[in-house]
Amino acid sequence: MPDFKALLAGLVAGLIPVVTLSTDSGAELNALYFCFVWLSWTLVGWLLVTEMSVLRASRTRWSTLHVLLVVGSAMYGVSMNLPLTEDLTVALWCLVLGVGWAAMLVSVRIGRETSETSERRVESARGVSN
């Protein structure tokens, strides 16, 4: 059964940047851009809710490193000093932040599923050897 709380969180998280950018942005952005922003932020919202226990149990240094990499690449890699309009710079920040956080959360999900699969294999191997 699907987790409706996680699905709702994903949909809301995906719609907020899309609606904000589409109504507030003076930059000409195409539909494919909005699809990627929506997809990445929807994944962020959904995976944040479903993987919250894993994130809380993780070591602080990895979380800190990830935040520094993603926020640093968005804020300093796509800086206001580039020859882009302010609206386009903010739109790129949304894309970089969404993709970076979605990538981290997808890797958390992959790691959790891999460890669960390994645990099941070990348990089944123990059951066969007994």
Chain length of the chain: 130
Q: What range defines the domain where residue 95 resides?
A: 4-129
Report the chain (130 residues): mean pLDDT per 10 consecutive residues: 81 88 73 89 90 78 82 81 83 89 89 82 70
CA distance 91 to 20: 10
For the chain, the C-alpha Rg in angstroms (whole number) is 19
- DSSP string of 5-49? HHHHHHHHHHHHHHHHHHHH--S---HHHHHHHHHHHHHHHHHHH
Question: Over the stretch 80-97, which tens digit does the pLDDT of each residue have?
Answer: 787 888 888 888 888 889
Q: Is 40 left (phi over 0), alpha (psi -120 to 50) or beta?
A: alpha
Total domains present in the chain? 1
> pTM of the prediction?
0.78
